[in-house]
Structure 1
């Protein structure tokens, strides 16, 4: 299941641009020429991404959202800034447009893979929010699409473009705290907007069938959409994939694990006693990697602070947004020497993506990196859902041994006509 291809039955019918497996070359940009973007999903994070890219000088030409009220208000905001933008409720329509260079995917997690893969096939570069995927096979399909069509795909793990995170990772990577045997990753608590409410008809402004997309058909419930999507397995993986995608990503960067994953994962978790939502309210998970290093992920664990803590033979380094601490304190005052390894430097995550569209160099959080980080998150959720240890082959990306329950949780069937085959 590690090299699956996306079925495009209905998508191929939607546009002849996908009739042949052509690799569309990147457009050559003049020194001052603007990159033209389409933005798919413009809720909280999508609105932030739209404004950030506009601040970097892009020219937004299309907005896609399944909520017509949100779509109209965003078009009005962008138009008032001097841009002519078109609105759609189906992302496939923007992929037909030859004037669009890149798409920005800021949808719920279950809608990340299809626009990214189809965008690559249509010759668009892609900025896709974290967590990159809902399932591990989706991530491999996204990597393969990016490589096959020579596309730039940036994962929205913006902590890699922060100086404090980079310095922490460089210090760890170059042995400034000695050998690292354990890393602690602290997650946020669940902030579901409870209590639950009864199912109802969807509001008139929401194209609910398109909101569901490849997810299972279920009655509309206002506590399962918008921000609350992240607390249900059909669409996301809770704070594990929300904040874990940020802080595990930093652990991977520091330890050189960007192209691998754990060999085993085990843990325990607590869930809402009244089942208001499905994901964990508390957990403690241990990922073991091939070199013996353990990444311990905790939610509501007193000994695991929010952020990433590296524990080495010479001390510890803790990093979170706006915070970099060493124990002893002088650890973080160290400078790299001439023989040390310097990590990729980006001071602005959105600008890095735009720069790479022009240079065709890989971005700081390339699709493969985002896929591997998301995979660790998914393995953690599989382990706590099963309540037992799972063994993982990070090279072939499959469960080790005869474990049909674990194998079944690695992938999830798509609702027809959408499919991942």
Structure 2
């Protein structure tokens, strides 16, 4: 069991009107108990906030939530770390249990217990933290529930399906004083950190602009008819906060990522990594304006709603510009990187990706050109250190919110088909009711994102 070190941080002093004029209330830890009765009266069920304690040297007991694809990758990596023990796995599909248990057991030497409903996991005092690797539409609710239950959270990007959900995740981390790390792993990778320090040193001069790109070849998602729910799959839980619909194999297995009810397109999926690095290097928080030119140029005649091609321009205060490029039909890399970022200063420019970085100065003189390995492990270790000792997180939820917000804003500009002006003080759009209406959604049944966390 784990000591829960205090992790108080400066609270954002922003009230969010969103689409219904509702202000977000910032509950302090001290005022939480006094507010609990009123909160319960609104219909929100608060899970137990009791947390176990033990020496900082003990291992962190984890439950990995979602054990397909990315979830299994995280499970294998966490299982291999001496600071962690995967005691439980959670997935709505019971067919995923056996292969996940086998893989984890072979690495850590003990078998995790399988649970189908996340709410049952959150009732267990032995679980210190959850690792959320579900489809995107579940990231926010799982994180909020986890914080309410006293668990620390490692959540994959994008942090949320929409802006309101992401904001509520930040508030949950603050209210319940939990460590919430976002899975933008590059924040912990040594060469990225070295490159950001290079920018901060002023060696590129004044950095006016950055470009982030996502250039790769994605597979299409053809339409298939709805079908009966497979045995062992809890389709109601899988849908969670999304609108209710019949089971569809291609929506469940892969297509959800390209449908607005569940995913955020590849700008929110892979693009958030690059947007995060670009924003980090520029030293900016919230844009003043966003303009997206996008379309489906290659993936026509399928179920995909999100664009395969996007060019998004973000304008920040102090004359900073960020350009995002996306092409999902490219069987080649750009500037040597499938996903990368370029920083443009008046004394030189930098290219950086997962396998290295390069700096070119005046007269096209290459002064840095390094190829390096990439690993998720430092980011996972950083999260475990934060849980065990109170160490600072390298991508705390508020940072993840700001970077995911860029993807949401770019997508919303595409969906309403016009440039948008963004007001950082209220976290909403200026004079655009239609765009504001897309900042949040109603939720469904017991899977509603709470107005007050």
State the TM-score, normalizing by the size of structure 1.
0.88
> What is the CA–CA distance in structure 1 between the aligned matches of 2:311 and 2:251, rounded to whole Å?
25
Deviation at 1:347, TM superposition (A): 7.0
Question: Structure 2: 5+ residue runs without aligned partners?
Answer: 1-15, 18-22, 27-38, 371-375
What do residues 312-370 of structure 1 show as CA deviations (whole Å, max 9, x unaligned)? 11121010110211223544379xxxxxxxxxxx9700000001112213310000000
> What is the CA–CA distance in structure 2 between the aligned matches of 1:142 and 1:194, rounded to whole Å?
31
Match for 1:185 among 192, 212, 227? 212
Is 2:182 the partner of 1:155? Answer: yes
> What is the CA–CA distance in structure 2 between the aligned matches of 1:288 and 1:136, rounded to whole Å?
19
Residue 6 of structure 2: aligned partner: none
Match for 2:346 among 313, 319, 339? 313
Residue 164 of structure 2: aligned partner: 137
Deviates more, 1:221-230 or 1:211-220: 221-230
Is 2:386 the partner of 1:356? Answer: yes
Residue 49 of structure 1: aligned partner: 74
Match for 2:101 among 71, 75, 81? 75
Residue 286 of structure 1: aligned partner: 313
Question: Structure 1: 5+ residue runs without aligned partners?
Answer: 335-345
Deviation at 1:207, TM superposition (A): 1.4
Asked whether the 8 Å contact 1:192–1:228 carries over to 2, the reply is no
SS of match in other structure, 1:97: coil
Asked whether the 8 Å contact 1:75–1:85 carries over to 2, the reply is yes
Taking a change above 3 Å as real, the CA distance of residues 418 and 25 of structure 1, as seen in their structure-2 partners, is closer
Q: Mapping of 1:368-383 within 5 angstroms?
A: 368-383=398-413
Asked whether the 8 Å contact 1:269–1:384 carries over to 2, the reply is yes
Residue 209 of structure 1: aligned partner: 236
> What is the CA–CA distance in structure 1 between the aligned matches of 2:341 and 2:165, rounded to whole Å?
26
Residue 116 of structure 2: aligned partner: 89
SS of match in other structure, 2:218: coil
Asked whether the 8 Å contact 2:287–2:315 carries over to 1, the reply is yes
What do residues 289-320 of structure 1 show as CA deviations (whole Å, max 9, x unaligned)? 11121110111399975310111111210101
What do residues 161-189 of structure 1 show as CA deviations (whole Å, max 9, x unaligned)? 11221122122222211111211110134
Residue 446 of structure 2: aligned partner: 417
Deviation at 1:54, TM superposition (A): 1.0
Deviation at 1:120, TM superposition (A): 0.9
Asked whether the 8 Å contact 1:39–1:62 carries over to 2, the reply is yes
> What is the CA–CA distance in structure 2 between the aligned matches of 1:51 and 1:5, rounded to whole Å?
39
Asked whether the 8 Å contact 1:193–1:223 carries over to 2, the reply is no
Is 2:141 the partner of 1:108? Answer: no
How many equivalent pairs are there? 399
Taking a change above 3 Å as real, the CA distance of residues 10 and 129 of structure 1, as seen in their structure-2 partners, is farther
> What is the CA–CA distance in structure 2 between the aligned matches of 1:27 and 1:53, rounded to whole Å?
21
